A and B are shown apart, each in its own frame.
Chain A
Amino acid sequence: MKIFGRSIIRLISPNIKVMAIPVAVLLVVAILFIYLTKVGYSRVTKQISEYKLAQKTENILSGKLGLLKKVESEIADDTDSTILALPDKNPATWSISQLRLKSIENGLTMDSINVANSNSFEENINSIAIGVQITGQELAQILSFLSSLPTFAPISTTGEIQMEKGQDGGWAANTEVSIYWSKLPPTLPAIDETLNDLSNEEKTVLNKVSSLTKPTFTVLEPSGPKERLTPFN
């Protein structure tokens, strides 16, 4: 390009010509540096956070696997104990059976037993009250019976107790035993969710639950076909 017959380059001062290239290079480098820092830093930071998240998940999974391997052999018995202590359905029949057994063990007579309507004790836990009236010759027998109530499964709590001495010198006692049940957890947590081992407090409760007297169940064995001498009998 020419102005007044002379090239533009010739019009530029030699001082500027000498400075132009290094200044241009510096400018380009500065722009590239800003761009690189902005883009590169954000990408690397994002990648680091992804890596940290992956590490965290891996640690959770690793811990979970270790825990599951550790408890694999011992958890089966605990499941039975806990489900018997707090069943998923109304355990009134089990509890009544246990109450009857304990009254017989202590030489008491169960005069009456009544079951009230169930109600919600807390969120997801239901309860029902069983009214019990027992009679016996000695106060000690009744005390032994009442003391045995927290020792059997399903777990129960004893409400107010009234004991009266009769005319014949025997004793009668009235009380209300509350029993509980709760639905089983419907779903498993997400696979990458932390799973902790039982805490010391939980282990204490578990030990207590394991030592409870479990209800006895009668298993009816299937019998084979028999020869019927009289087909109409």
Chain B
Amino acid sequence: MARINLLPQELKPKGYVLKLSKTLNKLALISIAILLAAAFVFLGSFIFFSQQTKASLGRQESLKSEIRALEATEQKLILVKDRIQKIGKVLNVENTTEELGVLKQIVEILPEGVSFNSVGISDSSVELEVTAPNLLSIGQFFLSIVNSQGFQKVTVTGFSYKLETGYVVGLIFF
């Protein structure tokens, strides 16, 4: 039996509209699926990270209690670090330790017959006065200074002769 559509033709949607409608239906289904997937991803991530955070906070509490048990050690370490930091500052203060080393070097190369009269040590130089019975000893002393090559700059500040002591030479070692 033939099927007869009794509805008027103007009530029937057009063909291209029907096609578009089908495509939109498919799109709607796909978008619903994407929406659900996105919701699942967001919810899953949220639950995962909140669980991880909770676990981490639990571990933190356990670590904190262990650290509190070692509070005396922590105090000592903080104290040592504090002292060392301050001692480091004090050790950097300009002092005469290096110049004392310079004086020791001079003592080592001092030839026989030459002796010190006075020594002044500051944080940048060593000033001294030596006496020698003859010019030969003075010459030997100067030669030792030159040969040692351990002094950056040496200035002769005075040269005189005294009958009772001999030759007196003033020098500054920088």
Question: Which residues on A are within 8 Å of B, measured CB to CB?
Answer: 14-15, 17-19, 21-23, 25-26, 29-30, 32-33, 36-37, 40-41, 43-44, 47-48, 50-51, 54-55, 57-58, 61-62, 64-65, 67-69, 71-72, 75-76, 78-79, 82-83, 85-86, 121-122, 124-125, 139-140, 143, 146-147, 150, 155, 157-165, 175, 178, 180, 182, 184-185, 188-189, 191-192, 195, 198, 201-202, 205-206, 208-209
Contact = CB atoms under 8 A, between A and B. Distances in A.
Nearest to B131: A165
Contacts of B10: 14
B134 interface: no
Contact of B49 (A44, A71, A86, A208): A44
Interface of B: 10-14, 17-18, 20-21, 24-25, 27-28, 31-32, 34-35, 38-39, 42-43, 45-46, 49-50, 52-53, 56-57, 59-60, 63-64, 66-68, 70-71, 73-91, 93-97, 100, 103-104, 107, 115-123
A15 B117 contact: no
Contacts of A51: 49-50, 52-53, 56
Given A29-B35, A86-B86, 13 more contacts: A22-B28, A29-B32, A32-B35, A54-B60, A68-B77, A75-B73, A83-B79, A124-B86, A159-B123, A180-B90, A185-B79, A191-B64, A209-B83
A179 to B, nearest CB: 9
A143 B107 contact: yes
A50 B53 contact: yes
B120 A160 contact: yes
Nearest to A144: B104
B56 A54 contact: yes
For chain A, what secondary structure do more than half of its interface residues adopt (helix, strand, loop), or is it mixed?
A: helix
A206 B122 contact: no
Given A36-B35, A40-B42, A125-B89, A68 B17 contact: no
Given A43-B42, A58-B60, A188 B119 contact: no
For B20, B34, B88, B121, the residue with the greatest tally of chain A CB atoms inside 10 Å of its CB is B121
22 contacts: A14-B10, A19-B24, A23-B24, A25-B28, A36-B35, A50-B49, A54-B52, A58-B63, A68-B74, A69-B70, A85-B87, A146-B100, A158-B96, A160-B96, A180-B90, A184-B79, A185-B82, A188-B75, A195-B74, A198-B80, A205-B84, A209-B83
